[in-house]
Amino acid sequence: MKNRVPNRDFVGARVIDPTLGLDAIRTIAVRNGVIAAIIDGAPAEPDLDAERVDCAGMVLCPGFIDPHVHLRHPGDPQKETLESGLAAAAAGGFTAVAAMPNTRPPIDRASAVSQLIRAAEAIGGVRCYPIGSVTIARAGDSMAALRGMAKAGAVAFSDDGATTASLKALYHAARLIADLPQPFLSHCDDPAFEGALMNEGAISDLLGVAGAPNLAEAAIAARDLLVARVTGKRWHLCHVSARETIDVLRWARSTGVDASGEATPHHVRCTDDQLLGFDASMRVNPPLRSATDVRALKAAVVDGTIDIFASDHAPHAPDDKEPPLSHACVGFSGLETAVAAMFDTFRDLPIATLVANFSTNVARLLGVEGGTLAPGSPADITGLHLERQWTVDPAAFLSKGRATAFSGQAFDVKPAMSVVGGAIVYAVDRSGRPLQGPNAARRAVKA
């Protein structure tokens, strides 16, 4: 039997919720794991049994949901485990994550979806939503049992890590389940360019290294959004990095295609010249692009063409990220830096927009609960400290991965609290010390 979550009043915070049009000091009253009320001042009829959580100096918003993480479960516990990945998510300010199916074995059948859900529930804390493979074994040619996975709880379908090679398989899959709400999430990278170590451009030419051009991404994005157009399927482009991909997304939406795209912190902040020293830790798919692409991507976030943020948390064991560049695994940990990096990059956008990109819009994409603090919703809440200086130290990550695009960078926004269904799964004070108390910060304390 699970312990009942205590009733709590989260008091004194600046509460920002784009769905309620709210930005004011409020008390969030949580009863039985659900938001009971958002109150101006003290509750009229205070519940004397409710625990008072002092949130003065914090911003509280609807729980952040990361639509794109790699938890490496099952198959690669040396890179990440469900425990370490979900702890990293909580510390990063996320109350839910959607887990990509490029595991060993891949999540390509209903039983694998159910097992992942059960394993994450046994850990508790941050919610974990499985994404099922589009094709059997993610091999790119034969459609997997999508309806069975949807019934078992898959929130979306993707062969992420690779493009679904067969247009025919992708088209048939989308057509077959066009009636289901689960979207397809495309990893756009033409397989013909496999083996590329970085972006193709001036830097790869200089280094004499094989690169993947913007076209390798944008051409597949166009292919996949055409599938969306002819099937009517809800579609989403993972980790958009090339300016031409944004053009393709704009075009598709202008013709009525129900499509969205996500931006990652590294693609809005880093450029391919960071590989000038053959830095293996910066190898990622899609690759870091040119400054022109970074500008275009940021502009697409500012104008709302891209309205979803994702970490693409892709942890690897330290050995996997060592030089040479050609041997290094692609990707790096992102859960514990994503919020700070995005708030820093888009400091001119209203906070409510950033909250929507991290929460409301993701809940809508995946068709999951949350994304709002409206009374009656599950009490999934993200707390942030603004104007809190800190420096990224990968040695302090709860993720097992130590590679990051942001080592040593200084930021001034830091996740302070993650509440899932009323349970405080992570909480720190302004100096980063775990808050005391029986239920607080269980996951902040490293074993």
Residues that are catalytic: 312
Closest to ligand NCD by CB, 267 vs 414, is: 267
Cα dihedral 319→321→322→323 (10° resolution): 150
Q: Which option in Zn ion, ligand NCD, none does residue 102 bind, with CB closer than 5 to 8 A by kind?
A: ligand NCD
Q: How far is the CB of 106 from ligand NCD (least distance, A)?
A: 11
Distance CA 6, CA 422 (A): 8
The yes or no reply on residue 388 touching ligand NCD (CB under 6 A) is no
70 binds, among ligand NCD, Zn ion, none (CB under 5 to 8 A by kind): ligand NCD
Q: Which pair of structure tokens corresponds to residue 116? A: 């992942």
**Residues near 21 by beta carbon (within 8 Å), at least 6 away in sequence:** none
Cβ burial of 386 (10 Å; 0-12, 13-18, 19+) is middle
Instruction: Decide: residue 391, CB within 10 A, 0-12 exposed, 13-18 middle, 19+ buried.
Output: exposed
Closer residue to Zn ion in complex, CB, 73/239: 239
Give the whole-angstrom CA distance, residue 425 versus residue 411: 23
Nearer to ligand NCD, 113 or 314 (CB): 314
Stretch that binds Zn ion, among 159-167, 199-207, 244-252, 382-390 (CB under 5 A): 159-167
Q: What angle do CA 21, 35, 433 make, to 5 degrees?
A: 90
Compute the distance between CA of residue 330 and CA of residue 365 in angstroms, rounded to an integer: 26
DSSP class per residue in 119-166: HHHHH-SSEEEEEE-SBGGG-SSSB--HHHHHHHT--EE--TTS----
User: Which parts of 268-287 interact with ligand NCD (CB under 6 A)?
Assistant: 284-285
Residue nearest to Zn ion (CB): 187
For Zn ion, the binding residue among 187, 223, 243, 388 (CB under 5 A) is 187
Give the residue with the Cβ less far from Zn ion, 109 or 187. Answer: 187
Q: Which of residues 131 and 355 has its CB atom nearest to ligand NCD in the complex?
A: 131
Residues 207-266 that bind Zn ion (CB under 5 A): 238
Nearer to ligand NCD, 285 or 305 (CB): 285
State the nearest-atom distance from the C-beta of 13 to Zn ion, in Å: 35
Q: Which residues contact 404 (CB under 8 A, 6 or more apart)?
A: 281, 332, 333, 334, 337, 392, 394, 397
CB of 36 to ligand NCD, least distance (A): 39
Find the binder of Zn ion among 108, 160, 224, 307 (CB under 5 A): 160
CB of 284 to ligand NCD, least distance (A): 4
How far, in Å, CA of 46 to CA of 29, rounded? Answer: 10
* Ramachandran area for residue 72 (φ above 0: left; ψ -120 to 50: alpha; else beta): left
Q: Does 331 bind ligand NCD (CB under 6 A)?
A: yes
CB of 239 to Zn ion, least distance (A): 6
Tokens of 256: 């009525």
262 binds ligand NCD (CB under 6 A): no
Q: Which of residues 33-92 bind ligand NCD (CB under 6 A)?
A: 70
Closest distance between ligand NCD and the C-beta of residue 287, in Å? 9
* Nearer CB in complex with ligand NCD: 81/102: 102
The one-character DSSP state at 359 is I
CA distance 262 to 327: 28
Letters for 300-319 (x = contact with ligand NCD by CB under 6 A, - = none) are ------------x-x-----
Q: Collapsing DSSP states into helix, strand and coil, what is residue 82?
A: helix
Near ligand NCD in 143-172, by CB under 6 A: 160-161
* Residues 61/306, Cβ–Cβ less than 8 Å: no
Residue 399 burial (CB < 10 Å; 0-12/13-18/19+)? buried
* Contact letters for ligand NCD, residues 361-380 (x by CB under 6 A): --------------------
User: Rule CB under 5 A: which residues touch Zn ion?
Assistant: 160, 187, 238
User: Rule CB under 6 A: which residues touch ligand NCD?
Assistant: 70, 102, 160-161, 187, 284-285, 312, 314, 330-331
